[in-house]
Structure 1
Amino acid sequence: MDRSWVYLNMDGSVRQDDEFAATRGLVCDQNGRWIIRFSRYLDNCTVTEAEFWGILNKLKLILDKRFEMVLIQTDSL
Structure 2
Amino acid sequence: MKKINEYGWTGVFVRTDKGEEIFRGAVEAGYIVSEPGGSIESYYPVNPGHPKKKFAVPTRIEYRKKYGWPVPKIT
Fold similarity call, TM over 0.5: no
Work out which of the two has the higher radius of gyration on C-alpha atoms and give 1 or 2.
Answer: 2
TM-score category, normalised to shorter length: under 0.3
- Greater fraction helix: 2
- Greater fraction strand: 1
Bigger RCO (CA 8 Å, 6+ sep)? 1
